[in-house]
């Protein structure tokens, strides 16, 4: 199944030395990703294998961005690349490019750029959220410190822009089209920064509308940019790019809602982060915002007092979870994510029927079942 792509989780707690992925483990993960694509529930097996091979190329090229100079920065980036996960955004860019008839070599370059940008955001997210683990492994800042983690994230975002610009080196790429795609990608980065800043400064006062605005900025727009940047570089028409843009935005917001749910309802092996870390860190989630809107003043005060406190006891977290369940907020979030995915899929009605379009519809369903 496509939702099972990525790094196998270790059952033991890794040490500094065992946390760094070996080449043998990376090769096994690539084979796993390829196998999972070829077994996906669709008749377009040949096309899925092609996309899996494109992702394998992205995987290989990611290693080329590691600095040549020995030192902590080199080791931190080498380590971060090893835990980059299921490459949903790279798959989005590749499929968006191929859906409009784009060339494989260009699709891979755009996929590499968006995956590096995403990896940068993960490093910075972990710093903001004070998370010590991601996908069962120690985070970059827990091994190399906050300062080096910030530099590693900055390095990767600059590399992402560099790789995206290099996609325009092909003579068949219209410079104006390339500039349009790069501007779109940069705007996505700006929106993500605004979303993160909003979550830090005003999460206690969020209502459902402001949460959805935040989810759009943090995750919706970046995933939207993955699909539409791929489509622009692939030579898509304005109508095709617009359709993929609407699709990507809806999928991205649903992606964030399900990610929030996973952290509340799944263990660390499934969500990739310590359970309930969003509550402990004071991170806004749709479930929480909805529950607070339904709670009386005393209950709301008790929940808000517990959030953002890393030392709060599990018993307090369990009490908050009971409130979230009784309010119907989890079911509300699941339903809204499902509605957004269906609307996103409807955005593709104007896109011609191809294996790439069928994969896009499949990726939409993956967003609802994601476990990364």
- Determine the Cα–Cα distance for residues 125 and 133; give it in Å rounded to an integer: 11
Strands (E) located in the chain:
133-134, 137-138
Residue 56 near residue 96 (C-beta atoms within 8 A): no
Mean of per-residue pLDDT scores for the chain: 80
- Determine the Cα–Cα distance for residues 213 and 199; give it in Å rounded to an integer: 11
Query: What confidence category does residue 9 fall into, taking pLDDT thresholds of 50, 70 and 90?
Result: very low
The residue-averaged pLDDT of 90-107 equals 91
Kindly report the length of the chain: 372
pLDDT for the residue numbered 370 = 59
Give the CA distances from residue 273 to residues 129, 182, 265, in Å, rounded to whole numbers and listed in that order. Answer: 10, 31, 12
Name which of 22-36, 57-71, 344-358 the model is least confident about: 22-36
Task: Pick the more confident residue, 54 or 22.
Answer: 54
How much is the pTM? 0.80
pLDDT for the residue numbered 310 = 57
Name which of 36-45, 198-207, 354-363 the model is least confident about: 36-45
pLDDT for the residue numbered 202 = 62
pLDDT for the residue numbered 261 = 87
Strands (E) located in 101-214:
133-134, 137-138
In terms of average pLDDT, the best of 104-113, 202-211, 313-322 is: 104-113
pLDDT for the residue numbered 203 = 64
Query: Which DSSP letter does residue 218 get?
Result: I
Q: Is residue 109 packed enough to be buried (19+ CB in 10 Å), middle (13-18) or exposed (0-12)?
A: buried
The residue-averaged pLDDT of 93-107 equals 91
User: pLDDT per residue over 224-247, tens digit each?
Assistant: 999 999 999 999 999 999 999 999
User: pLDDT per residue over 167-209, tens digit each?
Assistant: 877 656 778 888 899 999 999 999 999 988 877 766 677 889 9
The residue-averaged pLDDT of 255-281 equals 73
The residue-averaged pLDDT of 332-346 equals 94
Query: What confidence category does residue 272 fall into, taking pLDDT thresholds of 50, 70 and 90?
Result: low
Query: What confidence category does residue 315 fall into, taking pLDDT thresholds of 50, 70 and 90?
Result: low
The residue-averaged pLDDT of 238-264 equals 91
- Determine the Cα–Cα distance for residues 175 and 43; give it in Å rounded to an integer: 37
Nearest by Cα to 110 from 60, 45, 176, 185: 185
- Determine the Cα–Cα distance for residues 361 and 348; give it in Å rounded to an integer: 8
pLDDT for the residue numbered 312 = 61
User: Is residue 150 scored above 80 in pLDDT?
Assistant: yes
């Amino acid at each position: 199944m496509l939702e099972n792509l990525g790094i196998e989780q270790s059952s033991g707690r890794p040490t500094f030395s065992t946390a760094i992925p070996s080449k043998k483990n990376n090769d096994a993960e690539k084979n796993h990703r390829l196998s999972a694509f070829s077994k996906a529930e669709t008749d377009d097996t040949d096309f899925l294998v092609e996309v899996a091979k494109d992702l394998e190329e992205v995987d290989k090229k990611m290693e080329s961005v590691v600095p040549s100079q020995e030192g902590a920065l080199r080791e931190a980036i080498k380590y971060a690349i090893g835990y980059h996960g299921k490459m949903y955004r790279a798959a989005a860019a590749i499929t968006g490019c191929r859906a409009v008839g784009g060339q494989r070599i260009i699709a891979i370059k755009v996929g590499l750029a968006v995956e590096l940008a995403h990896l940068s955001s993960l490093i910075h997210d972990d710093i903001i959220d004070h998370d010590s683990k991601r996908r069962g492994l120690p985070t970059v800042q827990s091994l190399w410190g906050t300062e080096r983690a910030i530099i590693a994230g900055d390095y990767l975002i600059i590399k992402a822009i560099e790789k995206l610009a290099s996609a325009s080196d092909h003579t068949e790429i219209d410079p104006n089209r390339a500039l349009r795609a790069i501007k779109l990608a940069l705007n996505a980065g700006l929106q993500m920064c605004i979303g993160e800043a909003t979550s830090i400064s005003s999460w206690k006062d969020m209502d459902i509308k402001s949460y959805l605005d935040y989810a759009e900025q943090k995750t919706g727009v970046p995933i939207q940019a993955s699909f539409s940047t791929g489509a622009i570089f692939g030579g898509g028409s304005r109508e095709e790019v617009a359709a993929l843009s609407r699709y990507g935005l809806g999928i991205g917001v649903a992606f964030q809602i399900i990610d929030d749910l996973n952290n509340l309802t799944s263990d660390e092996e499934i969500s990739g982060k310590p359970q309930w870390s969003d509550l402990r860190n004071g991170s806004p989630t749709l479930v929480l915002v909805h529950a607070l809107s339904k709670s009386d003043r005393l209950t709301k005060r008790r929940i808000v007092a517990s959030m953002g406190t890393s030392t709060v006891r599990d018993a307090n977290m369990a009490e908050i979870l009971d409130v979230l369940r009784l309010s119907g907020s989890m079911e509300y979030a699941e339903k809204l994510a499902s509605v957004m995915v269906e609307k996103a899929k409807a955005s593709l009605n104007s896109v011609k029927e191809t294996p790439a379009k069928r994969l896009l519809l499949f990726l939409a369903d993956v967003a609802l079942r994601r476990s990364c």
